[in-house]
Structure 1
Amino acid sequence: MVLPESARLPRMLRYVGWPLVLLLIWDVIVTLAYVYLPHPGFDLPILPMTLLGSALALFLGFRNNNAYNRWWEARTLWGAMVNASRSYGRAVFHLIDTRPESHDLRQALVMRQIAYVNALRCHLRRQPCLDEIRPFLGEAETEGLTDVSNVPNAVLNETAALLSDATRQGWMDSIRRTQVEQLLVDMSNAQGGMERIKNTPLPREYDYFPTLFVHVFCVLLPVGLVDSLGIYTPLASTIVGFMMLAMDQIGSDLQDPFENRDHDVPLTSICRTIQIDLEHLRGKMDAPAPVRPVNHVLW
C-alpha cells in the first residue's frame, strides 16, 4: 500500500511512466507539423474532443469505482480477520480451563492462528507458505501440508480438531466451544470472501477497453487542440493526458488487491500486527517489530 506522504509530483510522473513521455513527444510532433507545414490537414474542432473526454472520464470513473470497491472490500475482510484473531486468542486463553495440563494446548492454538493468517497471506499472493508457517506449527505438521492445495483451510480444520479434543478432555464445555467455533466460522467466511476477490477478477474488458480508449484519446488530443492553442498545445495536451493516464493506471492497480504490488492491501503488515497481539497475549513480550514502510510502500 502506497502511503499518503509519497504523493508528490515526481513520484506521480514516474508512476505514469513512459506513456506520458511518449505523449509529450507526440504533442511536440503535432505542434511542429501544424506550425511549419503549410497544410497539415489533420486539425479537429474542439467540441468533439470535449465530448470524447467527458465520456472517457465517466467510463474511467465507473471502472475505478468498481476497482476501489474490490480493494476496500479486501481491506474490510482483513480488518475482520484481525478482530476475529484477537477475539479467538482471548477466548482460547480464558474460555479453555486454565489448569496446567491445558497450557501447551492453549499455547499451540494461539501459535496455529499466527500460522493460519500467514498461510492465508501467502495463499492469496500465490506464494509458497511452508517456510513461513514452519516456526509456528513445527516440522512434522508442516511437512504433512506439502501436498495440500489450500493450506490455510487445512490449518483451520486442524485447529477445530484440537478444540474438539479439549472438549472431550473436559477443558471446555459445549457453550464455550460454540463461542470459539463461531470465531472459526467468521474467519472461514472472511477467507472465502478473500478467495472470491482473488479468483474472480474484474472482466477483461474493464481493463482492456479503458486503457485502449485513453491511449486513443491521448493520440487525438493534440490534433484537436493544436488549431486553437498553437504552440501551447504540448502543455495543455500533456497535462490532460497525464490526468487520464493516471486515472487509468490507478484503476488497473486497485482492481487486484492481492497481487503483492505497491498498491495492494498490506497483508504482511496486517499479519505482523496479528502476530504481535497474539504473542503478547501468550506472554512473549519480545515479539517481532511492526513492518516498516519501504520507500513509502507498506507491504
Structure 2
Amino acid sequence: MVLPQSARLHRMLGYIGWPLALLFLWDLAVTLAYVYLPHPWLNLPVLPMSLLGSALALFLGFRNNNAYNRWWEARTLWGAMVNASRSFAREVYSLIDDRPESRHLRRTLVTRQIAYVHALRCHLRSQKSCEEIDEFLPEDEAEKVRGFNNTPNAILNGSAAMLAEAESKGWIDSYRRIQIESLLVDMSNAQGGMERIKNTPLPREYAYYPTLFVHAFCILLPIGLVDTLTIYTPLASTVVGFMLLAMDRIGADLQDPFANRAHDVPLSSICRTIQIDLEQLIGKPKPATPLKPVGNVLW
C-alpha cells in the first residue's frame, strides 16, 4: 500500500512513466507540424473531442469504482480476520481450562493461528513457499500442510481437530467449544471472500478497453486542440493526458488487491500486527516488531 506522504508530483510522473513522455513528444510533433507545415489534416473539430473526453471519463470512473470496491472489500475482509484472530486467541485462553496438561494445547492453538494468517497471505499472493509458518508449526506438520492445495485451510482444520481433542479430554465443554469454533467459521468465511476476489478478476475488457480508449484519445487530443491553442497545445494536451493516464493506471493497479505490488492491501503488515498481538497474549519474551514502510510503501 502506497502511503499518502508519497503522493508527490515527481513520483506521479514516474508512476505514469514512458506513456506520458511519448505523449508529450507527440504533442510537440503535432504543434510543430501545425506551425511549420501545411496542415489540412489538422482540422479535427473540438466539440467531438469534448464529447469523447466526457464519455471516456465516465467509462474510466465506472471501471475505477469497481476496482476500488474490490480493493476495499479485500481490506474489510482482512480487518475481520484481524478481529477474529484476536477473539480466537482470547477465547482459547479464557474458555479452555487452565491446567498444567492443557497449557501446551492453548499455546499451540494460538501459535497455529499465527501460522494460519501467514499461510493465507502466501496463498493469496500465489507464493508457493511460506517460511514464516515453520516457526509456528511442528516441522513435520509444516511439511505436511504444504502438500495440501489450500495450506491455510489445512491449518484451520487442524485447529478444529485440536479443539475436539480438548473436549474429549474434558478441558472444555461442548458449549464453549462451539463458541470458539464459531470464530473458525468466521475466519473460513473471510478466507472464502478473499479467494473469491483473487480467483474472479474483473473481466479482461475492463483492463483492455479503457487503456485502448485512453491512448487513442491522447493521440487525437492535440490534433483537436492545436487549431485553437497553437503553441500551448503541448501543455494543455499533456496535462489532460496525464490525468487520463493516471486514472487508467490506478484502476488497473487496484483490480487485484493480492498481487504483491505496491498498491495492494498490505498483507505482510496486517499479518505482522496479528502476530504481535497474539505473541503478547501468550507472553512471548520478545514478540515481533511492526513492519516499517520501504520506499513509502507498506507491504
Partner secondary structure for residue 269 of structure 1: helix
In structure 1, the partner of 2:122 is 122
Higher mean Cα deviation, 142-151 or 187-196? 142-151
Using a 3 Å threshold, how does the CA distance of structure 1 residues 130 and 233 change in structure 2: closer, same or farther?
Answer: closer
Higher mean Cα deviation, 109-118 or 35-44? 35-44
Q: Is the CA contact (8 Å cut-off) linking 1:118 and 1:271 kept in structure 2?
A: yes
1:145-191 CA deviation, whole Å, 9 max, x = no partner? Answer: 23211000000000000000000000111111011000000000000
Deviation of residue 43 (structure 1)?
2.2
In structure 1, the partner of 2:221 is 221
Q: Aligned-pair RMSD on alpha carbons?
A: 0.8
> How many pairs are equivalent?
299
Structure-to-structure mapping, 1:252-291, within 5 angstroms: 252-291=252-291
Structure-to-structure mapping, 1:131-170, within 5 angstroms: 131-170=131-170
Q: 2: distance between equivalents of 1:277 and 1:128?
A: 26
Deviation of residue 40 (structure 1)?
4.2
Q: 2: distance between equivalents of 1:166 and 1:40?
A: 85
Partner secondary structure for residue 149 of structure 2: coil
In structure 2, the partner of 1:6 is 6
Matched, 1:27 2:27: yes
Q: 2: distance between equivalents of 1:11 and 1:173?
A: 58
Partner secondary structure for residue 43 of structure 1: coil
Higher mean Cα deviation, 250-259 or 138-147? 138-147
Q: Is the CA contact (8 Å cut-off) linking 2:211 and 2:248 kept in structure 1?
A: yes
In structure 2, the partner of 1:192 is 192
Deviation of residue 16 (structure 1)?
0.5
Q: 1: distance between equivalents of 2:86 and 2:80?
A: 10
Matched, 1:106 2:136: no
Matched, 1:173 2:176: no
Q: Is the CA contact (8 Å cut-off) linking 1:3 and 1:297 kept in structure 2?
A: yes
Matched, 1:15 2:3: no
Q: 1: distance between equivalents of 2:174 and 2:27?
A: 73
Output the amino acid matched with 1:2: V
Q: Is the CA contact (8 Å cut-off) linking 1:130 and 1:142 kept in structure 2?
A: no
In structure 2, the partner of 1:211 is 211
Q: Is the CA contact (8 Å cut-off) linking 1:34 and 1:40 kept in structure 2?
A: no
Q: 1: distance between equivalents of 2:94 and 2:288?
A: 24
Deviation of residue 286 (structure 1)?
1.3
Structure-to-structure mapping, 1:44-123, within 5 angstroms: 44-123=44-123
Output the amino acid matched with 1:167: E
Q: Is the CA contact (8 Å cut-off) linking 1:123 and 1:129 kept in structure 2?
A: no
TM-score (norm 1): 0.99
TM-score (norm 2): 0.99
Q: 2: distance between equivalents of 1:203 and 1:39?
A: 41
Q: Is the CA contact (8 Å cut-off) linking 1:33 and 1:40 kept in structure 2?
A: no
Partner secondary structure for residue 56 of structure 1: helix
Q: Which runs of 5+ in 1 are unaligned?
A: none
Deviation of residue 39 (structure 1)?
3.1
1:74-125 CA deviation, whole Å, 9 max, x = no partner? Answer: 0000000000000000000110001111000001000000000000000000
Output the amino acid matched with 1:271: C
Q: 1: distance between equivalents of 2:114 and 2:288?
A: 12
Q: 2: distance between equivalents of 1:137 and 1:129?
A: 14
Q: Is the CA contact (8 Å cut-off) linking 2:42 and 2:227 kept in structure 1?
A: no
Output the amino acid matched with 1:246: A
Q: 2: distance between equivalents of 1:233 and 1:42?
A: 13
Q: 2: distance between equivalents of 1:294 and 1:40?
A: 53
Q: Is the CA contact (8 Å cut-off) linking 1:82 and 1:270 kept in structure 2?
A: yes
Deviation of residue 131 (structure 1)?
2.1
Deviation of residue 41 (structure 1)?
2.0
Q: Is the CA contact (8 Å cut-off) linking 2:77 and 2:190 kept in structure 1?
A: yes
Q: Which runs of 5+ in 2 are unaligned?
A: none
Higher mean Cα deviation, 141-150 or 160-169? 141-150
Q: 1: distance between equivalents of 2:35 and 2:97?
A: 86
Q: 1: distance between equivalents of 2:155 and 2:296?
A: 33
